[in-house]
Chain A
Amino acid sequence: MWEASLQGLLMVLQPLPMTIMILGIVLGSIVAILPGIGSSALVAMCLPFAMAMPPTSAITLLVSIHAVANTASGITSSLTGIPGSSASTVTILDGFPLAKKGQGARACGAAVWCSVMGGVFGAIVLTAALPIMRPIALSMGSPEFFMLTLWGVSMVAMLGGKAKLKGLIAAGVGIMIMMIGLDEKSGTERWVFGQPFLWDGIDLILVTMGVYAMPEVIALAMSGTSIAEAPEMGKGMMDGVRDCFKHWFLIIRTSAVGALFGMIPGMGGPTVSWICYGHAVQTEKNGNFGRGDIRGVIAPEAGNNSVDAGQYITSLGFGIPTSTTVALILIAFIAVGIQPGPTMLTTQLPLTFSVVWTLTIANVIGGVGALALANPIAKMTFWPARVIVPVIGVLCLLGAYTANYAMTDFYLLLIFTCLGFFMKQFKWPRAPLLLGLVLGKPMEKYLWLSSARYGLAWMYRPGVIILFLVIIATAILLPMFQARQKKAEKKALREAGVKEKGD
C-alpha cells in the first residue's frame, strides 16, 4: 500500500499534472468566490479538455477544481452574506455577523484555513478507509440513510434558538418548498400550477439568495451604512488561522462527520455543513452562535471540505456517484480509461492514491492562495452602502439567474426575498428553513425506498435502532441536560450574589 501511495504521489508531482493542477486550483478558487456558479458547472466546462488528457492530468485538473470548490467560498459568505457555494450557506450565520463587527478578515482566515485542515483530514480518512470501505458501505441501506437525514432535521431544535416552534415550522416549510416539481417516483406534478419551469423544482441557490442574501442587501440599503459596523478591521486574518488551531478538536470532529456523510449518495456539502454546525452548537460551551462565534465558521467549513474525500470513497470504490460534480468527474475518468469500481483498490491503486494526493496538495495550495487574497477582499466590508448595495445586488441577481437562465428566476427570487424579508422582520429563524430545503429531497427518497423495500420492518434494523438512539440522545437528552446545567449555573451565580447580564 505504501508503495502504491508513493507511486501515486510521484504521478501527481510530474511537471504536466502539477501545472494542470495549479490551473484547476486557480479556476476552482475563482468559481468558489463568485456566488451562483458551482463547481459542477466548471467541471462540466472542463470535461472536453480533461477527456483529451492523459489519465493523471485529467485527475489533477478535475479533482483539484472539486477540492478547492468549498475552500474560498467561505470568504464570500462571510464578507457579503451571499453564499459562495451552497455548502457555504451556513457560514453566513456567524461569518457575516463577524464581518459586521469588523472581524471580516478573521472570519475569512478561519474559513479558509479550517477548510484546508478539513480537506487534508478528509484525505487521511480516505486513505485509512481504502481497505475497509467495502464492509462500511455495504452495512448501510436506505433505512440507515433515512435515519441520518432525520438526524440532520433534529438539528432544527438547535438552530431554532429560543424560537423553537417557529424553527420547526420553518423547517417544515423548507421541506414542502423542496417538494415542488415533478415527483420522480410517480410523475405527479406537485404544485407546479401548469408552469413547466417548476417541473425541475426550485433551485436551492434561488431560495438561499432570496431568503438570506437579498434581505441583507435590503437591510444594508435601509441602514445606509457599510457591512462592518466597527470602524476598524479588528483582528486580522492570522487570528482566524490561530482560531483553527485553538479549536482543532472541533475541526477533527466535524471533518470526520463530513467524510462519513460524504460517503452517502445525495448527502453533499450543504447537508453536511448544517449537520456540522448543529453539532458545534450542541457540543461547544459558552457559544454565541448566530451572532458572530468563530466556531460557527470553523465547524461547517471544515465539514464541507472533508465531504469531498468521503464522496470519493463511494465513487471510486463502487463506481456510485455521490453528487453531480463527482458524477461528471467519473464520466471523465471512464473516458480516459479509468474504470471506477473494485479495480481501483487492486490493480489501479496508484491512481486512487493520485486522487488522494491531489485532494491534499490542492487543498493546501488553494488555501494558502485564498489566505493571500482574504485581507484585501475583507476591506470591501468597509465600503459605504451606496457602493456595496449595487455591487452585491447585481451579484445576487445575476447569481440567481444562473439557476435556470430564465426570467422566471428573477420572479422566484423576488418571491423568496419577500419571504426572507418578512421572516427577518418578524424574527423567524431562517436557518431551519434552509435545513429543510437541503434535507427534503434525500429524506423523501430514502423514506420511500425503505418503505417500498422493507415495509415497516425497516424500523427494526439494528442500524436504524442505533441511529434512533443517537437522535434521541443528541436532539432531546443533550439539550435537556444542557438546559438543566445552565439552570444550575444560574442558581449558583444567584446564590453567590452575581447578577447576570440581561437578568
Chain B
Amino acid sequence: MRFRPQSFLTLVVITSLGFGILTALGWPLRASILVLTIGIGCWLLAVIQLFMELRLKHEAVSSGMDIELTEEQKLAKAPLRALDIWLWLGGFVVGVWLFGLYITVALWPFLYALRHGSRWWMALILAVASVGFLWGLFDQIVHMPFPRAVLPIEKWLIG
C-alpha cells in the first residue's frame, strides 16, 4: 500500500461526506431522506475508491470524460506558475475587500498583463475595457450593488 497525492482528494471527500451524514442523522426524515440515501452510498464508494488507490502498483491513468489537461502543466515550472495564478486570484478577492470592485477590476488585469510581458498600452486597454464592462453592464444596466471597501479610496476617487 502506498499513499499517493491523488488519494488526498479522496480522503477529503470521505471526510466531508462522513461529516455530512453524521449531521444529517439529527434532521427530520423529510430533510434527510435523500441526503442519507445518496450520502451513505457515496461514502462507501469513496472508501472503495481509496482502497483501490492505495493498492494500485502504478499511478492510475484512467480519467473520466473531461477537458484534456494542457501538456505544459507537466513542465517543471508548472507548480510555480500555479502558485502565481492562485496568488493573483486571491489578490483579486483581497483587492475587492480592501479597495472595492472598481479599483480592483481596473488594477487586476492591468498589473497581470504588465507582469506577464504585455506592453503597457495593451495592459491599459484591458483595464479600461474591464472597467467599461463593469460600469456599463453591471452598474448602468443591471444596477448591481457593489461591496463596500474597507479603505475609502474608491469613495474619495469617484465621490
Contact = CB atoms under 8 A, between A and B. Distances in A.
Question: Interface size class for chain B?
Answer: 35 or more
B42 A173 contact: yes
Nearest to A227: B70
A331 B159 CA distance: 39
A175 B30 contact: no
A72 B114 CA distance: 32
Question: Interface size class for chain A?
Answer: 35 or more
B9 A175 contact: no
Nearest to A183: B31
B35 interface: yes
A162 B13 contact: no
Nearest to A101: B68
B25 interface: no
21 contacts: A97-B67, A161-B64, A163-B63, A165-B49, A179-B34, A183-B30, A186-B27, A190-B27, A191-B20, A219-B69, A222-B82, A389-B112, A390-B126, A411-B93, A414-B90, A426-B5, A426-B9, A427-B62, A428-B9, A431-B65, A451-B33
Interface in A422-437: 422-424, 426-432
Contact of A427 (B6, B16, B108): B6
Nearest to A396: B89
A220 B64 contact: no
Contact of A185 (B31, B52, B147): B31
A316 interface: no
Nearest to B129: A391
Contacts of B153: none
A393 interface: yes
Interface of A: 34, 37, 41, 45, 81, 92-93, 96-97, 100, 158-170, 172-173, 175-176, 179, 183, 185-186, 188, 190-191, 212, 214, 216-225, 229, 281, 289-291, 385-387, 389-391, 393-394, 397-398, 401-402, 405-407, 410-411, 414, 417, 422-424, 426-432, 440, 443-444, 447-448, 451-452
B34 A37 contact: no
Given A224-B72, A387-B126, A163 B64 contact: yes
Contact of A162 (B64, B89, B117): B64
Contacts of B116: 224, 385-386, 389
Contacts of B65: 93, 158-161, 281, 289-290, 429, 431
B49 A414 contact: no
Given A162-B63, A173-B13, A220-B70, A405 B145 contact: yes
A428 B81 CA distance: 22
A357 B12 CA distance: 52
Given A163-B62, A217-B85, A398-B134, A393 B39 contact: no
Given A169-B49, A222-B70, A410 B39 contact: no
Contacts of B63: 161-163, 427-429
B9 to A, nearest CB: 5
Contact of B20 (A176, A222, A451): A176
Contacts of B41: 172
Contacts of A97: 67-68
A80 B33 CA distance: 39
Interface string B103-123: 001001100110011100010
A433 to B, nearest CB: 10
A447 B33 contact: yes
B64 A432 contact: yes
A168 B34 contact: no
Nearest to B5: A426
Contacts of B101: 401
Contacts of B13: 169, 173
Contacts of B54: none
Nearest to B97: A407
A155 B100 CA distance: 43
Nearest to A443: B34
Contacts of A81: 67
A233 to B, nearest CB: 19
A220 B73 CA distance: 9
Given A166-B64, A397-B92, A386 B113 contact: yes
B15 to A, nearest CB: 12
B78 interface: yes
A281 B66 CA distance: 13
Interface string B1-24: 000011011000100110010011
Closest 9 CB pairs of A and B: A429-B64, A172-B42, A390-B109, A290-B65, A427-B63, A223-B72, A162-B62, A188-B31, A221-B85
A120 B133 CA distance: 33
A186 B45 contact: no
B35 A290 contact: no
B130 to A, nearest CB: 5
A172 B45 contact: yes
A432 B81 CA distance: 28
B158 to A, nearest CB: 18
Contacts of A158: 65
Contact of A393 (B62, B70, B108): B108
Nearest to B49: A165
Contacts of A407: 93, 96-97, 147
Contacts of A428: 9, 63-64
A97 B72 CA distance: 15
Contacts of B61: 427
A337 B126 CA distance: 47
A183 B35 CA distance: 11
Nearest to A422: B9
Contact of B46 (A169, A385, A443, A452): A169
